[in-house]
A and B are shown apart, each in its own frame.
Chain A
Amino acid sequence: MRVIDWVVLGGSLVFIVTYGVWRNRHHRDMQSYLLASRQMPWWAVALSIMATQASAITFLSTPGQAFADGMRFVQFYFGLPLAMVVLSVTAVPIFHKLKVFTAYEYLENRFDVKTRALAAFLFLIQRGLATGLTIYAPAVILSVLLGWSIGITTAVTGALVVLYTAWGGAKAVNETQLQQMIVIMAGMFLAFVVILRLLPKNVSFVESVAVAGALGRLNAIDLSFDWTNRYNIWSGLIGGFFLALSYFGTDQSQVGRYLTGRSVAQSRLGLLFNGIAKVPMQFLILFVGAMVFAFYQFVMPPLFFNPVEVNKVKSGPLKGEFTALEQQHAEAFAKRRQAVERFIRARRSHDAEREARARAELKKADDQVLLVKAAAGDLIKENDKKADRRDTNYIFLRFVLDYLPAGLVGLVLAAIFAASMSSSSAELNALATTSVVDVYLRFIHKDGREAHYVVVSRLLTVFWGLVAVAFAQYASRLGTLIEAVNILGSLFYGTILGIFLVAFYVKRVGGDAVFWAAILAEGLVLWMFWKTKVSFLWFNVAGCLAVVVLATLFSLVSSRFPREHANPSD
């Protein structure tokens, strides 16, 4: 990192935090603090929704995901536009009309207080932990850049976000998200342009894409059906639909975003814009990863992208073995490089048979590189039992630090920090809102003044910031962050969604039936997670359907049972 990079990075962060605190320092009532007075236009709602979902994990881990596993992850988002339409038709008008602060308030209106409390409780657990992952991602960067421990860097990152979120509430979240999205988009676009310019001059863009494709990195669509395959079009459309419906319809970190819209139409337009823009945006971020992969076919990549773990192993007893692996890696890379050149020449010859042969040789050469890389991962694990043998989260970061020009490194890192701050601030705001409205105000202190609840909201924002920072200490053991955060969400979202679907559509079901159905459904999802190999996207479908079916059954049984019990002779 050069001085100009530190200036760009530091300047962006200080400006965003100061702006968030200064512009929104006066809040006297809950409506203003928790929902920005419900005055936001559709474009601010749309930016806020997108910025909340797109955390630093999106920009750090997603390109790495494409590098390691190809672009099939894009299918995960196919259910999202469908969910945006369904929510625009159903949830948005209802939440607006009832003027609720949280989605869970509606459940008491429809069922009873225990169902509201259960849904709020599941949300608080899930989101409290997931915010830890959101804060962890940029802390990784600071850790790499400064050589500090993850514990210190998560604390620093968390403190920055807590500062302006606790001070400025929802309005600070929304207003800073606008600037954050500008930084994010500028950073990713410029990074993409630079990657294209770094590709060899004698190799065209299409040929670079073809190399990535030949090695399976442009596998955007997989039509096969397999319950255990995480990403195919069916899990994306069906499982992704249920996940998006749960996330945007029942997770307060998103519901709170579109409740800030000044009318039903403005909130709807915000959601629908997200439905249109999200899939292409994710495709482009994955494509950046595929192009980084193509770049490293011509320039030798590090054997292992996480420099912290590499330094550890090189300063320990396994140093000799790691150095030997680095030598093997260099040889395997040289052979693959030759295979890449043969493949490009074969393509230029327009001889299909020759191209197929060259493609097979290239694949074989790549397999050798992957074998050495896997051995390096094992060595890293052997050296430190707590270390992650995968380096996916570090690929894009390492590329940025090693190859982007001065100034742009700072901008891309600022984009990653901005993404983290935009998500975690909205999440902390949602956690504080739910804790105050659904727990504190409902069960502990009903008749306080508005100013009192604003103070409690601020304190709870700080509390949830501390919980998130504490959980972030364990995030390094969870593998690919973008998957970890979605797996965690999928453990709870299906059940919460089931409760809301019953509330919206199954008229005859009451509070008791849906409450016990939700408890059993959550047990089923946790059992699937621990005891089966079913892909996590299906947890959302299973949890949701279990609540709907069981609640309907319980309702039928309970409506028959009292009559029979009361009149056994009938």
Chain B
Amino acid sequence: MSPGENQNLATKESEEEPPPVLGTWPRLYAAVLLGLLVEIVLFYVVTRLFS
């Protein structure tokens, strides 16, 4: 199986079963990354406030 075929498989599966929240997988991925960004900002604030 070639990598091109691998990615086709991934795309096909994504289309078949959407996530239970936010409608599409890319939106859910973006939410996870946004969560990380918020956490880093919060931790930075804690560091600046107390160190």
Chain A contacts to B: CB under 8 angstroms: 74, 78, 81-82, 84-85, 88-90, 93-94, 96-98, 109-110, 209-210, 212-214, 216, 218-221, 233, 263-265, 268-269, 272, 275-276, 279-280, 283, 503-507
Contacts and interface: CB of A to CB of B under 8 A. Distances in A.
A218 B46 CA distance: 7
A81 B2 contact: no
Interface in B1-16: 1-4, 6-7, 9-10, 12-14, 16
Contacts of A280: 39
B14 A279 contact: no
A78 B44 CA distance: 13
A81 B32 contact: yes
Given A93-B14, A218-B50, 13 more contacts: A81-B33, A84-B32, A85-B29, A93-B10, A93-B13, A212-B50, A218-B47, A275-B32, A279-B36, A283-B43, A503-B3, A504-B3, A505-B3
Contacts of B14: 93, 264
Interface string B37-51: 001100110110111
A244 B34 CA distance: 18
25 contacts: A78-B40, A82-B33, A82-B36, A89-B25, A89-B29, A90-B7, A93-B12, A94-B10, A96-B13, A97-B9, A97-B13, A110-B1, A209-B50, A213-B50, A213-B51, A220-B44, A221-B43, A233-B40, A264-B14, A265-B18, A269-B19, A283-B39, A505-B3, A507-B2, A507-B3
B10 A90 contact: yes
A209 B25 CA distance: 39
A94 B28 CA distance: 20
Contacts of B46: 218, 220
A209 B28 CA distance: 35
Contacts of A94: 6, 9-10
A335 to B, nearest CB: 22
Residue among B25, B39, B50 facing the most chain A CB atoms (10 A cut-off): B50
Contacts of B9: 93-94, 97
Nearest to B3: A507
A280 B25 CA distance: 23
B3 A81 contact: no
Nearest to B6: A94
Interface bin, chain B: 20 to 34
A268 B4 CA distance: 21
Interface of B: 1-4, 6-7, 9-10, 12-14, 16-20, 25, 28-29, 32-33, 35-36, 39-40, 43-44, 46-47, 49-51
A565 to B, nearest CB: 27
A216 B10 contact: no
Contacts of A82: 33, 36
Contact of A279 (B10, B25, B39): B39
Given A218-B47, A263-B17, A276 B25 contact: no
A264 B13 contact: yes
A499 to B, nearest CB: 14
Nearest to B49: A213
A74 B36 CA distance: 12
Nearest to A274: B32
Of all A-B residue pairs in the complex, the 9 with the closest CB atoms, nearest first, are A213-B50, A220-B43, A93-B10, A265-B17, A93-B13, A218-B50, A81-B36, A221-B44, A264-B13
A507 B4 contact: yes
A81 B50 contact: no
B47 to A, nearest CB: 5
A213 B33 CA distance: 28
Given A81-B33, A110-B1, A221 B40 contact: yes
Contacts of A263: 17
B25 A88 contact: yes
A504 B33 contact: no
B8 to A, nearest CB: 10
A212 B9 CA distance: 51
A264 to B, nearest CB: 5
Given A212-B50, A264-B17, A505-B3, A74 B43 contact: yes
Given A209-B50, A213-B49, A505-B3, A89 B10 contact: yes
Contact of A210 (B10, B25, B50): B50
A209 B43 CA distance: 14
A88 B13 CA distance: 11
Most chain A CB within a 10 A radius of its CB, from B20, B44, B46, B51: B51
A438 to B, nearest CB: 18
Nearest to A233: B40
Contacts of A213: 49-51
A167 B19 CA distance: 35
A276 B3 contact: no
A279 B38 CA distance: 11
A213 B51 CA distance: 5
A85 B40 contact: no
Contacts of B7: 90
Contacts of B19: 265, 268-269
B28 A219 contact: no
B49 A276 contact: no
A213 B3 CA distance: 49
B46 to A, nearest CB: 6
B39 to A, nearest CB: 5
Nearest to A505: B3
A307 B35 CA distance: 42
Contacts of A268: 19, 25
Contacts of B17: 263-265
Given A210-B50, A218-B51, A263-B17, A272 B28 contact: yes
